[in-house]
Amino acid sequence: MGENNSEEALKEKIVDIAKKYPKGISDKEIKAAMPDLSTADLVSAINKLLQQGCLDLFNKDGSLIYKFKAQSSKQAVKGADNEEKVVYNLIEEAGNKGIWIRDIRIRSNLANTQLNKVLKSLESKKLIKAVKCVNASKKKVYMLYNLEPDRSISGGAWYQDQDFESEFVDILNKQCLRFLQQRADKMKNNPRGPIVGRTQSYATAVEVQKYITDLGISNVKLEVEDVITILNTLVYDGKAESSVYPDGSKVYRAIESLLPPPGLVQVPCGICPLIHKCCSTGLITPQTCVYMNEWLEI
C-alpha cells in the first residue's frame, strides 16, 4: 500500500512539472527538478504515465521530449455509467471556477448517497478534484482534475492553503520598491538632463515582474496583475508614484516621501484580492477580518 501511494505521488509530481512546460520537457529537466529521484523510478513512472495517456512522447533533435496530455471529455468518461457522465459534464461546464455539490445535486437530480459515490469514483480516476474556496473555508467546489482554480477560488498568489501570506507580500513589496529605487538612483545624474532622467526612471509592471521572477523568491508564478497590486500599495504608501505614457501604458517610479504615510493607506485592504466582495454583511466583512484586527493592534 505504501509503495503504491509513493508511486502515485511520484506520477502526480511528474505531471505537475510537465504542465509547466507546454513545449515539452526532457528526462534531464525532470531530474533537475527532482534531484533525489533515481533513474529507475523515473523510467518506471514515465512509462506508466505514457500508458495511461497522461503524457505524449516526441523526438526533438534526437532527444526524447514529454508533453502533458490533457484528456478530452470523451476519453475521460469512456466506459463510465450514465450518472458519472452527467456529473462529469456538469463539472466540465463549470470550468476553473468549479461547481458546488448542491448545484450538482439539483441539476443532476441525484440523491446525496448516489452523488457522493459518483464523485468519489471520478476523483479516484483523477478526472475531477475538490477545491476549497478561499472565501468560505467549509465550501468545496468541484472542477476537472487538470484545471488550475480561478483566482476567485484559490485567492491567487497571496494565499497558500487558504492562509494569507503576509510575509510573502511584505517581501515582494520591499523588492519591488528596491527595483524602483535602483532605477531612480541610476537615472539621477543622467547626462541628458534631469527631465530625461526623471522620465527614464519610470518602470513598467512587466519590467518589475521580470526582476522579481529573476530573483527567484516566489514559488508561484506571479502574473503582471499581481505585480501591479504590489506597485499600487507602494503608491498608496507614498513610496512611489504612477504615470501614464502617451501609448496608454502605466509606469511607476520611486519617490522620497517628505512625510510618513498616514495610517489609513497602510490598511491591508489595498492588497486584499477579496476587497470587491467585502461588505457590511455576509461572509467577508471588516468586522470579521483577521488581517484588519492585526493591523489595528499594531
Second CATH level (architecture) for the domain 73-154 = Orthogonal Bundle (1.10)
Q: Nearest 10 degrees: CA dihedral of 161, 163, 168, 172? A: 100
The pLDDT, as a whole number, for residue 135 is 65
Residue 260 in this model has a pLDDT that exceeds 60: no
> Tens of pLDDT along 56-78?
888 777 778 888 876 554 555 66
> How many angstroms separate the CA atoms of 249 and 252, rounded?
10
**Three-class SS state of 130:** strand
What is the DSSP annotation of 145-182? TTPPPPHHHH-GGGEETTEE-HHHHHHHHHHHHHHHHH
Neighbours of 155 (CB within 10 A): 21
Q: What is the pTM of this model?
A: 0.44
The pLDDT, as a whole number, for residue 1 is 39
Q: Where are the domains of the chain?
A: 2-68, 73-154, 164-266, 268-298
Task: Tell me if domain 2-68 and domain 73-154 are identical in fold.
Answer: yes
> How many angstroms separate the CA atoms of 37 and 29, rounded?
12
> Tens of pLDDT along 152-204?
676 666 666 556 667 778 888 889 999 998 888 887 766 565 665 577 788 88
Name which CATH class applies to 164-266: mainly alpha
Second CATH level (architecture) for the domain 2-68 = Orthogonal Bundle (1.10)
Phi, psi of 66 (to 5 degrees): -110, 135
What is the DSSP annotation of 2-54? HHHHHHHHHHHHHHHHHHT-TT-B-HHHHHHHSTT--HHHHHHHHHHHHHTTS
